[in-house]
Amino acid sequence: MEKPALFGQTLSEIQSIVAELGLKPYVAKQLTEWLYQKHARSFAEMTNLSLSVRQILDEKFRLGKSEPSRVQASSDGTKKYLFPAGSRGFIEAAYIPDEDRATLCVSSQVGCKMGCLFCMTGKQGFQAQLSAGEILNQISSLPERENLTNIVYMGMGEPLDNLLQVMKSLEILSANWGYGMSPRRITVSTIGLVPAMKHFLEHSEAHLAVSMHSPFHDERRKLMPIENVYPIADVVEKIRAYNLGKQRRISFEYIMFKGVNDSPRHVKEIARLLNGMRVRINLIRFHPIPDTPLESSDDDTIRQFREGLLKKGFRTTLRASRGQDIFAACGLLSTKELVKLQAPDF
Amino acid sequence: MDIGLSGFIKKLPLVSLPVIENLQISPGAFVLTVERISDFLPGQVVALSTDDKIAPRLYSICSAPDNEYLQVLFSLKPDGELTPLLARLKPGDTLRVSAPFGAFLGDDRPAWWIAAGTGVAPYRAMMLAGLAHNKKLIHGGRFANQFYFQDEFLDCLGESYIRCCSQETGDGLFSGRLTQWLREQVLPSEISFFLCGSVEMVVETRDILISKGVDIDNIMSEVYF
């Protein structure tokens, strides 16, 4: 059986481990410094720990970091990294450099359970939850780690369907004993898992991005089965009831599908649904995937849609498509070809 | 162990109800019965747990809306957190149950109901609500003992009840996966297709339907979240 990983444990968890091993309490702080601030990749590097302590740790634990096994580079500078996720498959992370910032889009699950009609990750089904360490490893083992300004949980999987591990990773990212990153530089996306979203809003300071894609119940549930359980109107109502303060950003993601969700009627309904809320709307071009009847709206329609929302008073942006040539753009991440075939239940 | 979405349905108010019956209807599959204290629509779900320390999960109701009891079908996941506890429940034990909710609802229009495994549960509720007269049910399972409620479906649907068995052969069974059966069919136009099961089944089936010309407006999906 594989030894448990130390990387991805919170300070309090490491304090418990240190106590159980009978080590001095200050070793916990030394360990978090090596893991999250000095970026150690082996126990041998932890030179302010005695040799005997390092041997004890090495006997009981593995460090838990792994290098990317493949990288693809886009003509626009985007890079897509493939990371192993133990014996359960692979995940992808997209590094997106820009003029004044560099964003890493991290995965939270191997595959996804949500089954959205427009998403390539959903095509591979669900294989496994990632641990906090496996989520953070995408950051820690990134060659461009020092350049990163922003982290977005928008890669493979539904982050709030892996709430415990995502929350742990957020704690480690933002804690002074961890990476010390401002939560205002972190965005977590969700398709609107209401109970988990409430937990996230109450226990994290990171930004939230909600995948809307249609303001109409009957239309959205054909695109996103989750609408049957947690309708977008309930999602918005829950967010509206929460005091978000001035610094925290809530955005609604909206992929533009030709002839499906790109009409003035949709602008009007979005405005009605979000009336009075201080939110941002991100329009996204649809990046076609196999076996889908959906197409992207044309540029003129997207422009008119954006102008319509701006006139209604909503800050509305059009997200640039990055890394499309290496299948790193929104909705295209997938490791389906690397999934070990499991016997289906049907 | 999956510690996902259903692990945090904490804000759904759950009420304690005594278990009336916990019947194993097939190896590893159980029908759990409690008193019905709320109205529901066929196709809706409830969140269940055994106590406040165990994360609730969602289950489709499989009983009739006018029945005095409420039933759910579940399969035992030996390494899961909740189903081993559910499987051990005895009459008189306490079950924590949410109010019914959800919008995967049956109606009177002609449709094909497609399910894998315990995904057949909402269709039983729809059938018992009298919505089966213009429906065809295609049910996929690995083994012949996984066609839950097959006697009831056979009685009600007759030849419109298709059992696709991927790992065994047997009388009245289509030998192969339900996706294979679907690929071999000429699909009727102007009807709805309801899909309920794992994301793998829903995604693959949806792709097949779309490739055969079914409009996405006519496809309704319920995934085991």
For residue A20, what are its two tokens?
Answer: 């159980």
Query: Which of A41-50, A302-311, B8-17 shows the lowest per-residue confidence on average (mean pLDDT)?
Result: B8-17
Quote the CA–CA distance of B174 and B122 in Å, as a whole number: 22
Taking the CB of residue B23, how many other CB atoms lie within 10 A of it? 10
Say whether B116 and A345 touch across the interface (CB within 8 A): yes
Mark whether A330 is an active-site residue: yes
- Interior CA angle at B77 toward B74 and B81, to 5°? 100
> Does some domain include residue B51?
yes
Overall average pLDDT of the A307-335 stretch: 86
Of B69, B98, B127, which residue sits at a domain end? B98
Taking the CB of residue A59, how many other CB atoms lie within 10 A of it? 10
B207 contact A CB<8A: yes
Same-domain pairing of B116 and B40: no
> Does some domain include residue B175?
yes
At A343 the pLDDT is 66
At A342 the pLDDT is 62
* 8 A C-beta contact, residue A157 and residue A110: yes
* 8 A C-beta contact, residue A178 and residue A36: yes
For chain B, which residues score pLDDT lower than 50? 1-10
% of chain A beyond a pLDDT of 70: 99
Same-domain pairing of B89 and B159: no
Q: Which residues of A touch B203 (CB under 8 A)?
A: 115, 122-123, 125
Domains of chain A are 11-60 (1.10.150.530), 70-338 (3.20.20.70)
Closest CA to A171 of A57, A62, A36, A61: A36
Overall average pLDDT of the A65-73 stretch: 94
* 8 A C-beta contact, residue A253 and residue A211: yes
Report DSSP state, residue B61.
B
* 8 A C-beta contact, residue A100 and residue A44: no
Environment class of A258 (CB within 10 Å of its CB; exposed 0-12, middle 13-18, buried 19+): middle
Closest CA to B220 of A221, A191, A124, A213: A221
Q: CB-CB: which of A113, A117, A222 is closest to B225?
A: A113
> Does some domain include residue B103?
no
Quote the CA–CA distance of A51 and A245 in Å, as a whole number: 48
* 8 A C-beta contact, residue A284 and residue A255: yes
Report DSSP state, residue B87.
H
Say whether A122 and B177 touch across the interface (CB within 8 A): no
At B13 the pLDDT is 82
Same-domain pairing of B60 and B141: no
Same-domain pairing of B143 and B191: yes
Residue of A nearest to B164 (CA): A346
Say whether A115 and B199 touch across the interface (CB within 8 A): yes
User: How many CA atoms within 13 Å lie on the side-chain side of B193?
Assistant: 26
Q: In what side-by-side order are the strands of the sheet with B94-98? A: B57-60, B45-49, B94-98, B14-26, B29-35, B69-75
Using DSSP, state whether A101 is helix, strand or coil.
coil
The DSSP element (H or E) to which A308 belongs, if any, is helix A299-311
Overall average pLDDT of the A292-307 stretch: 95
Same-domain pairing of B74 and B156: no
Same-domain pairing of B207 and B150: yes
How many domains in chain B? 2
Of B98, B124, B142, which residue sits at a domain end? B98
* 8 A C-beta contact, residue A93 and residue A81: yes
Taking the CB of residue A164, how many other CB atoms lie within 10 A of it? 17
For residue A209, what are its two tokens?
Answer: 């991005």
Taking the CB of residue A302, how many other CB atoms lie within 10 A of it? 18
* 8 A C-beta contact, residue B166 and residue B140: yes
Q: CB-CB: which of A114, A164, A222 is closest to B7?
A: A164
Same-domain pairing of B54 and B155: no
Of B51, B69, B98, which residue sits at a domain end? B98
> Does some domain include residue B106?
no
Q: How far out from the chain centre does Cα B31 lie?
A: 11
Closest CA to A285 of A268, A267, A306: A306
Radius of gyration of chain A from its Cα atoms, rounded to whole angstroms: 21
- Catalytic residue, chosen from A92, A134, A158, A253, is A92
Closest CA to B74 of B56, B54, B99, B91: B56
Q: Decide which of B55 and A224 is more confident.
A: A224
Q: How far out from the chain centre does Cα A167 lie?
A: 11
Same-domain pairing of B121 and B218: yes
Residue of A nearest to B102 (CA): A229
> Does some domain include residue B104?
no
* 8 A C-beta contact, residue A43 and residue A56: no
* 8 A C-beta contact, residue A192 and residue A230: yes
N residues, chain B: 225
At A334 the pLDDT is 76
Q: What is the signed CA dihedral for B118, B122, B125, B131, rounded to 10 degrees?
A: -130
N residues, chain A: 346
At A206 the pLDDT is 96
Q: What CATH number should be reported for the domain holding residue B203?
A: 3.40.50.80
At B32 the pLDDT is 98
Mean pLDDT of chain A: 93
> Does some domain include residue B127?
yes
pLDDT tens-digit series, residues B16-39: 999 999 999 999 999 999 999 999
Q: CB-CB: which of B116, B216, B223 is closest to A115?
A: B223
Same-domain pairing of B129 and B40: no
Overall average pLDDT of the A136-145 stretch: 97
Q: What residues of A are in the B interface, CB distance below 8 Å?
A: 111-115, 117, 122-123, 125-126, 129, 158, 160-165, 193-196, 198-199, 217, 221-223, 225-229, 231, 291-294, 343-346
At B8 the pLDDT is 42
Closest CA to A244 of A197, A201, A275: A201
Q: Please, which residues have CB within 8 angstroms of residue A243's CB and are 6 or more apart in sequence?
A: none
Same-domain pairing of B81 and B145: no
Same-domain pairing of B133 and B90: no
Domain span including residue B17: 5-98
Say whether B8 and A112 touch across the interface (CB within 8 A): no
Taking the CB of residue A220, how many other CB atoms lie within 10 A of it? 23
Interface probe with A: pick from B221, B222, B224, most Cβ of A within 10 Å: B221
Residue of B nearest to A121 (CA): B203
At B5 the pLDDT is 42
B100 contact A CB<8A: no
Closest CA to B198 of A292, A148, A112, A307: A112
Closest CA to B55 of B110, B98, B108: B98
Say whether B101 and A291 touch across the interface (CB within 8 A): no
Q: Decide which of A19 and B52 is more confident.
A: A19
Say whether A113 and B4 touch across the interface (CB within 8 A): yes
Q: Which residues of A touch B45 (CB under 8 A)?
A: 229
Mark whether A116 is an active-site residue: no
For residue A333, what are its two tokens?
Answer: 């991440």
Q: Is the dihedral of CA A142, A143, A146, A149 positive or negative?
A: negative
Q: What CATH number should be reported for the domain holding residue B10?
A: 2.40.30.10
* 8 A C-beta contact, residue A166 and residue A159: yes
